[in-house]
């Protein structure tokens, strides 16, 4: 099978490496608006061939769109305009509602499968790609009833080859859950970094003292705006909803401290500790 990869960064690159390793893809052809990334991806054996957008759409059995979510909204309809009956198109974006909405009425909608492999790092670009990325993580396939069965089946095989756990979910539900589980973590981490940068003017001290705990909570603050501004934009309502809750949770800690109500503080922490039982099942 020939796979056409639109976007040869962290996610697309990592998928390509694994799908070639598994021999699921015989040939991977790539297109990216960044010439530098394309050359890098060829060098790193992420893609076998650099091609044009038109040739990629024409020559691929499966097209993977691995772009920031605002770009996906533009490129996906352009791809669907040009594909053959048998071509399957998938995206891998962190939001699903706006992306599925935009192609809802497209005559080739059923060739498209909306999905989201839940993995990422704070790094980006083809150099950050790794074939060990996705194992044992969740891959969500959304609104599968709007896609051809053969298309869903192929995308399922993609995620099986990436060794992911496949879940089916409505796009609107997906966007609610990812606001809780993923998007708010990034806002928290960005805000934490900005807090420390605002309060701690001695950068050397940050560097010298940074504990593993700090590094862990602030890791996501290294993530690029090119990816995250579009996600927050598309998932604005859900993210705002969770962000409001998060601010009110922080205010409980503030109130407990201000009033020296250490029993309440303990209660808040004991409640938070429940996350251990859920994550370490």
Nearer to a second copy by Cβ, of 55 and 261: the residue is 261
The distance of closest approach from Cβ of residue 194 to a second copy in the complex, given in angstroms and rounded to an integer, is: 5
Among 45, 52, 135, 205, binds a second copy (CB under 8 A): 205
The distance of closest approach from Cβ of residue 223 to a second copy in the complex, given in angstroms and rounded to an integer, is: 8
| Residues in 96-115 that interact with a second copy by CB under 8 A | none
| Residues in 178-197 that interact with a second copy by CB under 8 A | 178, 180-182, 184-197
Nearer to a second copy by Cβ, of 74 and 197: the residue is 197
Q: Provide the mask over 242-261, with x wherever binding to a second copy is found by CB under 8 A and - wherever it is not.
A: xxxxxx-xxxxxx--xx-x-
Sheet holding 165-169, edge to edge: 49-50, 27-31, 2-6, 62-65, 88-91, 112-117, 138-142, 165-169
Nearer to a second copy by Cβ, of 84 and 216: the residue is 216
Instruction: Please compute Rg for the chain using Cα positions.
Output: 21
Determine the size of the site formed for a second copy (CB under 8 A).
92
Distance CA 131, CA 13 (A): 8
The distance of closest approach from Cβ of residue 149 to a second copy in the complex, given in angstroms and rounded to an integer, is: 24
Contact window for a second copy (CB under 8 A) among 21-29, 51-59, 97-105, 265-273: 265-273
The distance of closest approach from Cβ of residue 154 to a second copy in the complex, given in angstroms and rounded to an integer, is: 23
Nearer to a second copy by Cβ, of 51 and 143: the residue is 143
- Is there binding between residue 27 and a second copy (CB under 8 A)? no
The distance of closest approach from Cβ of residue 12 to a second copy in the complex, given in angstroms and rounded to an integer, is: 18
- Is there binding between residue 281 and a second copy (CB under 8 A)? yes
- Residues in contact with 46: Cβ distance below 8 Å, sequence separation at least 6, in sequence order: 5, 8, 12, 13, 16, 17, 28, 30, 126, 129
Among 137, 156, 170, 172, binds a second copy (CB under 8 A): 137
> 115 — alpha (psi -120 to 50), left (phi > 0) or beta?
beta
The distance of closest approach from Cβ of residue 34 to a second copy in the complex, given in angstroms and rounded to an integer, is: 19
Which residue is listed with tokens 């608006």? 33
Sequence length of the chain is 281
- Is there binding between residue 148 and a second copy (CB under 8 A)? no
């Amino acid at each position: 099978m020939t796979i056409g990869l639109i976007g040869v960064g962290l996610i697309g690159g990592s998928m390509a490496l694994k799908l070639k390793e598994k021999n699921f893809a015989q040939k991977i052809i790539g297109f990216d608006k960044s010439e530098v990334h394309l050359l890098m991806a060829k060098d790193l054996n992420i893609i076998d061939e650099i091609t044009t957008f038109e040739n990629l759409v024409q020559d691929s059995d499966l097209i993977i769109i691995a772009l920031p979510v605002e770009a996906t909204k533009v490129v996906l309809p352009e791809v669907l305009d040009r594909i053959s009956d048998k071509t399957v198109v998938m995206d891998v974006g962190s939001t699903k509602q706006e992306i599925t909405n935009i192609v809802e009425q497209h005559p080739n909608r059923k060739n498209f499968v909306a999905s989201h492999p839940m993995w990422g790092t704070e790094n980006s670009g083809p150099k950050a790609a790794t074939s060990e990325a996705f194992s044992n993580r969740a891959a969500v396939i959304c609104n599968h009833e709007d896609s051809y069965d053969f298309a869903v089946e192929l995308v399922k095989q993609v995620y099986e080859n990436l060794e992911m756990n496949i879940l089916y979910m409505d796009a609107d539900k997906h966007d609610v859950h990812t606001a809780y589980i993923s998007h708010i973590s990034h806002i928290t981490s960005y805000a934490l970094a900005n807090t420390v940068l605002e309060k701690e003017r001695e950068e050397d001290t940050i560097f010298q003292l940074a504990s593993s705990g700090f590094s862990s909570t602030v890791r996501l603050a290294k993530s690029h705006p090119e990816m995250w501004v579009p996600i927050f934009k598309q998932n604005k309502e859900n993210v705002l909803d969770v962000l409001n809750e998060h601010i009110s949770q922080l205010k409980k800690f503030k109130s407990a401290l201000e009033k020296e109500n250490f029993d309440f503080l303990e209660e808040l922490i004991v409640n938070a500790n429940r996350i251990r039982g859920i994550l370490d099942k």
